[in-house]
Structure formats: structure tokens, C-alpha cells
Structure 1
């Protein structure tokens, strides 16, 4: 059957009830659209795991703390549908805002701990918006599995915490970051980079890798972070929001990489905020980034 495009929650839930009566499992990939190969890797993982697959496209206003960022976020529903068609998913769910936040909606899902600092510090309210919309969409889609990439690693930990704390039945499946050939982590925001900025953007991944290797070999953490910060500015980045080492998976701020840890960065380039992260390759630690998607 061809992919169905559904916009109403009631129609979606009628569909999922039919699947349940047939004993079928449901995998969901949650997106804000402007789909790229990173999203498609999650869709393929869902197709391999579940009997039925739903992809959602919803630009969630509650996770934007900057109105201009919300206004400029790419909206490409028609091309997204064309991109998904060859994969033969079952349903593309594109809800209107009132399907997610009906009149009188007044509930917020808030996660402490793993949401502190990093993007949570620079974008007040962002992870409350993420946690709320993810909870809503997982309940609306009746998902058995949902798939998230390592690139938004703090978001992944927030979603894991929501599912665990609220006893959601959905299994959170983590998948590795997908990169362009030049090393830039794929992101819908990359569409907003001009050609000059796009040529500079891969420096973020290279600087992260260099700093992670220095720290992993026992180098001074503070010095490695300062060197990386300056390297981004010299390369042409406008501002660095953070360049930090955090424990993995707890995301606690640490000053020495004597435990499983990751290196996180967020920096601005030509008005676009780019984020990335890498595990610190200490010989005694393992990482959460595998070649195949793994249950959280």
C-alpha cells in the first residue's frame, strides 16, 4: 500500500488500533521535517525492527526559545513526502498544532538532571518543549519503538529519562550520528548555511575529534577545551556557546576524563547554531555509539 498522510489524531489512532488488532508492532521516527540521510537512517532502522512504521513531521513551537529561529526553521513537507515514498513506510503523520496543543492545553513535561547545562543552559525551556511533545507523540502513535540519533545526545538522554520515569511502553533506540563526506554532522539546520559557511562548518567535527583524542590520551582537559574554543573562532565561527566534557550517560560536568565521557560543542556560524558531540576514546571505556542501533 502507498504511504498514507494523516493529519488528525483520531484518524491516526484508528489506524494504529487496526494494527494492534492484527498483532503488529509500531516503530516511530519523530522529526521536524527537512529530512536528510540522518533521518532516513532512523527510518531504515525502524523498518528493520517494527511491522509498521510512522514518521512524524511537526515543527514544535514549544522547543524554540527564539521566535526568529522558529520562523526560519525549514518547512518542506512536499519534498519530505517524496523522500519517504521509496522507503515504503506506512504513515506520515503531519499534525496541525491544535492536534498537539488543543485549546486549554496547560501541561508541561519537565526533566531535571540530564537537561541541565549544554543546550539546556543556552536554550531555556527547550527541553521542556522536547519532553512534552515527545510524550504526546509517543502516546498518540502508540509506539513500541522510537529511534533517535546520537547527534542530539542530550536530547536522547532527556527522552530516555521521560520514558523511564513515566513508565512509557516505548523502547528508545539509539542510532549513530550520520555525517556528510566532509565530516559535518547532518542536520536540517545545515540548509540555512550559505556556501561559504558550509565550507567552514566541518571544522567543528574536526576540532571535536582532535580535542577528544588529546583528552583521551591523558592531555590536560582545560587546555584542550581552550585550544578547541580558539580554533573554532579562528576558523570563522561567530561564537561558541559551549565546549565541554560531560560524563556518559549521566551528563554531569567533569574536569577529568577518568570515566566514560563525551565531548560536546555548540557554536554559531553565519547565524546558524550547530551542535555535535563525540565519545572520548579512553581505552578503558566503551561508548554508546555503535555501528547498529541499540536499545537505550
Structure 2
């Protein structure tokens, strides 16, 4: 028993990161294997996957959206210590670079990149440190070793939201009237051809909600900040009452887990303009808030529990 207790205490010091995955736990990628036999084997025995890398940041939902499904967007980074050079967060950079400094001196850090560690927050922190001192024209292919542990939470103002601008293409890659050449030109062409029309839903109190035209249908994807079980219970309440949709010709399609949060998805009428969904999303948000306020004090009814089981069956996990 003493050995077991010691083993449980091991690694729980003050330096432990919330959301870290033990080598013997199931891998967060959903493979069914233990972490050490799946993603853990490629990162090395000292590394772990952080399942909620943006925890503690007010911009957590927007960060997940920019990482997972918004094709072309930028946002100035509200750094704790703003130096002479500003850094802009971007969804995708040319050749999926981790960071770059354009010829005009403007620095960008990419979200949708191949990570070399189990902690996206650390990769971003290192890329930001690099971007602050790199020279115009420099490109960082993968997150650089900063020589010291640095996470996004260390450099980003915790209570700051992101002022996201969604773009219709990737022309912002190139400053001014410069013409892209070589690999950058090819990368720009491929990115523009693959882009899905996307707009941010702008309404009071609504964050991290996006309209996306996927071709055969349109969707609302909304990163929610609540703990999974509490959100599912609230959604089950609405579902049991037939109030989980966004109005006529819409339906709740399911949700995916991404970096520790749930992202519900609704199928929409493609004939309506993106901006017409602001009010329906706002109204649904109010219904959700009301349902969330009752979850802790009122047990789910039998019908609501059945609804929750049905909602759970329509979830997909993204790493």
C-alpha cells in the first residue's frame, strides 16, 4: 500500500500541469491504447499530452476555433509585455509555418501547425518568443526550443479576449503590393482553393461561434466554455423540450471535443445569409444559460436523461 500511495503522489508537485496525461492512461486521441503505447511513444518518456492547453485564458474558445476549424483569420495578440514589435495570431501561415516575420517586419504565429510536443500552449509560447526577436524574412518551420519553459499562459494576458478578423482568402500573407513567388505562391494558391466560406457570429455575449459553408450544407460551430457533463445536462433539458435547434430548417447535428471543451454543431438552411444567424444563436445562448442555472439544483427527468444519452452518442473527439 505504501508503494501504491507513493506512486500516486509522484508527479503531483507544484509544477504539474492541469490536464496532463499519465503514460498508463488511455491516449486522448481516442485510439483505445495507453498513452505510452500511442502518442506518448513519439514524444518521449518525459513528455505528456495536455488535454486542455488553453485552460485559464478568457480567449480559450476562440483559440480552439482558430486551431480547429476557422480557415483564414488573424487576431492581434494581447501580450502581457508588449514590446516594440506586435505579434499577430493566425490560423494558417505559408507552408504551415509555426511563425514568420514578413518583409515589412510584421510578425505572425500560426495555430494550425504540426506540433512537436504534447502541449500546444508550449509550442505557441516558444513561437511567440521567437517572433519577438526574429529578423524580417525569417521563417520558423516548427516551434523552437526557447531554452526555458514558456506557455501561452505565461505571455498572454489571461483576461483578454481576441479581436478576430475572418478573411475570405489568404492574401494577408503577402504585405502591400508584393507578389508571391516560389513555394509561397504555390502554398497561397492551394490554400485559397481549399478555403470554406466562414464568418464569425457577432452578437452580445456570444464568443467563439462561427458560421461555416461546407458546400453541401452550412453549419454553426460554437465552442462552449462549460464543463462537459454540465453542458450536456443543459443541452439535454433543451432537447427534451424541442428547444435545441436554431429555428426552422435547422437541427442539432452533434458535437466534437477539442482541447478539453465541447463544440456543438448545428445544420442550417444554406439560403440564409451568415449574419441572419446572430439572433437565433443569441436566443439559443439565453436558453442554454437558463438551463445551465438549474443543472446543479434540479436532477434530470427520465426524458432528459434519455436525451443526454442520445446527445452523448453523437460526440466525436479531436485531439
Q: Structure 2-normalised TM-score?
A: 0.28
| TM-score for both structures, normalised by structure 1 | 0.30
**Relative contact order, higher structure (CA 8 A, sep 6+):** 1
